[in-house]
Structure 1
């Protein structure tokens, strides 16, 4: 209890908490995009429930991993050596998650390209997932992103209460943002391709990290933000053209 009071009264602890919350929210964007895209392939009645389950599972995994900090630290130690290069368990997890994410993104991009002219519900229903399959895929990526998130948290602060509060705050933000993001992606089909491209980049980044090549996250998210800005401008142009066309028709 005394240690908690010391942290509450320590400005450095508050600064560390704020920094870690922001970092965890940024790292959670990848997770949230994947959950939103995957849940949109489910029937309308199951989407919100699947999103909540996926995000709450992410919270459970992160808190469980925080309870095993000593084990998490061991994940960064070399566990396998191939062709003179050492791989830790974290590297192998990131490699597996990155490969899965690249496969998932490319398969979804291929579907959207080959079915671009099909607008009927029957055409789209052939690729809809079951709720159990969607949650299974979400759990797999939750594990990958959770390991990366917790290792980042452990590297930024040594205070467990700060880690717990930051993780809970970040996941709560994900929980409230999931439904609006899912609806936005559903209403704007061109955004789906952009989001899938983001997942492809994230997957390649995870693979690079797994091979020991550190990719600064700031560069990745700056490129994603710029791409989103360009797409927002395109959406405004399309809406303006639609309004002018409607005015002429009247």
Structure 2
């Protein structure tokens, strides 16, 4: 029980938990967008299943640390550049994110309400869950490799992952409702998916882009959009007050 009084253990747990929560934002946004394509009665269930699968995958990967280490071994080389299974998974997952983000943006920019309605009619619960599983695998791999690199004790990694996913579960409902209620926020979230997809592809090809830069850019965009929403809400209140005075 000496670990209870070890400040380094608690500092490691706190740092890793915060990092896992930040890394989970990508996963959470993607799940929210996919779940919102389903009928309202199925959305909450899809979000919970998606996050439960994310937790299961992360814990399973943590239990297979030796296998995770093997994923970073070189599988083949192209023009002198080595590729591992981790690189291949990140590239495939990044391309899938870029494809999904581009397709969703195209539907909202070019399509009409009828086209969007037809698309929603073709979406199935099983199809959404399968897409969530694919991206859960990619995000879980990235998350676990980060955890293994930052902590030595398995219980610290497991605890950090469980806390992070629990907080994602609490935030998933409000986030999904907020994204669904504001079309501009939904477009911003889709743009984030494109950005994250390109970062994953670049990482797979050996061009590491610090995640801090990405999240600062995302935070700045969210801040600007928040100001836009506040200004729009203020205008609506003024118009309502003016209309009530006539």
TM-score category of the 2 structures, normalised to the smaller one: over 0.9
Residue in 1 that maps onto 2:124: 130
* Structure 1 gap segments, 5+ residues each: none
Which of 220, 245, 249 pairs up with 2:243? 249
Residue in 1 that maps onto 2:21: 25
How far apart, CA to CA, are the structure 2 residues paired with 1:81 and 1:136? Answer: 31
Which of 124, 134, 140 pairs up with 1:140? 134
Residue in 1 that maps onto 2:214: 220
Structure 1 residue matching 2:119: 3-state secondary structure? coil
Q: Deviations over 1:33-57 (max 9, x none)?
A: 0000010000000000000000000
How far apart, CA to CA, are the structure 2 residues paired with 1:67 and 1:6? Answer: 24
TM-score normalised by structure 1 residue count: 0.95
Residue in 2 that maps onto 1:204: 198
Shift in Å at residue 123 of structure 1? Answer: 4.3
How far apart, CA to CA, are the structure 1 residues paired with 2:128 and 2:4? Answer: 40
* Structure 2 gap segments, 5+ residues each: none
1:1-250 paired onto structure 2 within 5 Å: 5-115=1-111, 118=113, 123-128=115-120, 129-250=123-244
Q: Is the 8 A contact 2:107 2:116 kept in 1?
A: no
Shift in Å at residue 77 of structure 1? Answer: 1.3
How far apart, CA to CA, are the structure 2 residues paired with 1:37 and 1:8? Answer: 40
Q: Deviations over 1:56-90 (max 9, x none)?
A: 00000000000000110111111121121100111
Shift in Å at residue 125 of structure 1? Answer: 2.5
The worse-fitting range, judged by mean Cα deviation, of 82-91 and 96-105 is 82-91
TM-score normalised by structure 2 residue count: 0.96
The worse-fitting range, judged by mean Cα deviation, of 105-114 and 122-131 is 122-131
Q: Number of paired residues? A: 242
How far apart, CA to CA, are the structure 2 residues paired with 1:137 and 1:209? Answer: 21
Q: Is the 8 A contact 2:27 2:136 kept in 1?
A: yes
How far apart, CA to CA, are the structure 2 residues paired with 1:181 and 1:228? Answer: 13
Q: Deviations over 1:100-129 (max 9, x none)?
A: 0000000000001013x53xxx54331121
How far apart, CA to CA, are the structure 1 residues paired with 2:58 and 2:76? Answer: 25
The worse-fitting range, judged by mean Cα deviation, of 123-132 and 141-150 is 123-132
